[in-house]
């Protein structure tokens, strides 16, 4: 019999001391007992069920000397031999560490997106070193979808899912109402949003929007200590950062890539502007200006002035029978919230770690 149990955040096998399965401490595994003749494929299915990992996505190889797991879920890791304890009550036997890399690390690399092409090349090289299969998948899925340096268009000329996700989150309860009350809830929501945004924008006196002003202020602090070398009236060479960057204020470009893509001044363009005695907001795209912000909410969303009892509805509309679409209802409880992406899981795990305390199961030491 092989007894596998959870102890100090590890899967440990009783048949071999050096075989362990390090797991995410926030998601405990269950105690299972396997025959020595039981195929390790069964253990793989059990682990996938415990940690909510797709069995098809997870490519796991099991052996009694080493367990290695590769996946894109943030709770799966490359497995190595059992690590040495950090306090007195832990086993003192020393074991060698293997090269490890978590899917959280790979997700962080993808999350950065990299506006500079050379940084993207370094990122994709690291991903191939950690997981060749994941690297090939990202290549086949088209890196232009997540690498900003290779994206063919501008940021605001495509439709994003953020507005739809915001509406779905707010309308979780009203979505269960009938059609007319649902439309009234949406109208009341948009009326309140437009009024609040119009009120805030009318009181804003800076030339750029609030978030852009804060972002530029942070970049001004980061730009301190840079050396500036003017080339002509608009071009400059900025040194002192990780890379030497060429700034062209006339074309509004910088070799770091952030100014070209985001249309907001990067930390290299800011000293080039200040050295010439110019204003920062002049070289920022018009989409980020306060007048553009006010224009977006200049219209008002008014309620229906006529009561429902006095509506003039045609007879054919009254007699019409509107039936729901002939779709098959999926099994289980309806989903009211979107599925969390890898980036969301990374942010939630990083935020919860700050106040989380880990304690030894043997001596109780934190």
3-state SS string for 30-52: CCEEECCCCCHHHHHHHHHHHCC
Q: How far apart are CA 109 and CA 102, in angstroms?
A: 11
> What integer pLDDT is reported at residue 308 of this predicted model?
79
Long-range contacts of 267-270 (CB under 8 A, 24+ apart): 267/219, 267/220, 267/222, 267/223, 267/226, 267/241, 268/223, 268/226, 268/238, 268/241, 270/216, 270/219, 270/220, 270/223
Dihedral over Cα of 24, 30, 34, 40: its sign: negative
Report whether pLDDT(103) > 70. Answer: no
Give the confidence band of 37 by pLDDT, cuts at 50, 70, 90.
Answer: low
State the CB neighbour count (10 A cutoff) for residue 335: 9
**Per-residue model confidence (pLDDT) at position 52:** 59
Task: Say yes or no to pLDDT of 81 above 60.
Answer: no
When pLDDT is cut at 50, 70 and 90, the band that residue 333 belongs to is confident
pLDDT for the residue numbered 91 = 45
Which pLDDT score, from 0 to 100, does residue 236 have? Answer: 94
Task: Compute the distance between CA of residue 172 and CA of residue 338 in angstroms, rounded to an integer.
Answer: 11
Q: At 341, list the tokens.
A: 């992406």
Q: C-alpha distances in angstroms, 149 versus 131, 142, 187?
A: 22, 13, 39
What's the CA angle centered on 102, arms 99 and 105, to 5 degrees?
110
- Indicate if the pLDDT at residue 60 is higher than 70: no
Q: Spell out the residues 6+ positions from residue 136 whose beta carbon is closer than 8 angstroms to its own.
A: none
Q: What is the pLDDT of residue 13?
A: 44
User: Does the structure show a pLDDT above 70 at 90?
Assistant: no
Mean pLDDT in residue range 27-41: 55
Specify the higher pLDDT residue, 137 or 43: 137
Of 34, 67, 71, 74, whose CA–CA distance to 56 is shortest?
Answer: 71
- Report the percentage of the chain scoring pLDDT > 70: 61
pTM for the whole thing?
A: 0.56
Q: Is residue 39 pLDDT above 90, yes or no?
A: no
In this predicted structure, what is the pLDDT of residue 155? 59
Residue 265 confidence (pLDDT) above 60:
yes
Specify the pLDDT at position 76: 31
């Amino acid at each position: 019999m092989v007894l596998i149990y959870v102890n100090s955040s590890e899967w440990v096998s009783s048949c071999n001391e050096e075989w362990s399965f390090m797991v995410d401490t926030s998601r405990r595994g269950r105690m299972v007992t396997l025959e020595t003749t039981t195929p390790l494929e069964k253990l793989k299915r059990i682990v996938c069920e415990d940690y909510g990992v797709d069995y098809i996505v997870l490519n796991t190889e099991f052996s009694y000397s080493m367990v290695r797991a590769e996946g894109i879920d943030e709770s799966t890791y490359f497995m190595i031999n059992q690590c040495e304890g950090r306090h007195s009550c832990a086993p003192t036997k020393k074991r060698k560490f293997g090269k490890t890399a978590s899917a959280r690390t790979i997700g962080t690399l993808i999350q950065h997106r990299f506006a500079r092409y050379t940084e993207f090349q370094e990122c994709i090289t690291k991903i191939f070193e950690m997981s060749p299969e994941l690297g090939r998948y990202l290549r086949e899925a088209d890196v232009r979808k997540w690498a900003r340096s290779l994206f063919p268009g501008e940021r605001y000329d495509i439709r994003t899912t953020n507005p739809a996700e915001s509406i779905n989150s707010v309308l979780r309860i009203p979505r269960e109402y009938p059609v007319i009350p649902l439309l009234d809830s949406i109208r009341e929501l948009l009326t309140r949003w437009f009024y609040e945004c119009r009120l805030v924008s009318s009181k804003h006196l800076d030339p750029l929007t609030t978030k852009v002003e804060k972002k530029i202020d942070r970049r001004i602090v980061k730009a301190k200590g840079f050396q500036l070398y003017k080339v002509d009236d608009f071009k400059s060479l900025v040194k002192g950062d990780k890379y030497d960057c060429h700034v062209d204020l006339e074309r509004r470009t910088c070799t770091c890539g952030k100014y070209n893509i985001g249309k907001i001044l990067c930390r290299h363009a800011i000293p080039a502007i200040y050295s010439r005695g110019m204003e920062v907001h002049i070289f920022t795209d018009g989409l980020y200006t306060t007048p553009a912000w006010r224009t977006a909410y200049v219209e008002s969303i008014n309620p229906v002035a006529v009561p429902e009892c006095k509506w003039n509805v045609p007879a054919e509309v009254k007699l019409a029978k509107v039936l729901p679409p002939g779709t098959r209802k999926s099994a289980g409880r309806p989903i009211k919230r979107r599925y969390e992406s890898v980036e969301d899981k990374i942010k939630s795990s990083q935020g919860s770690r700050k106040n989380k305390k880990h304690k030894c199961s043997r001596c109780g030491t934190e």
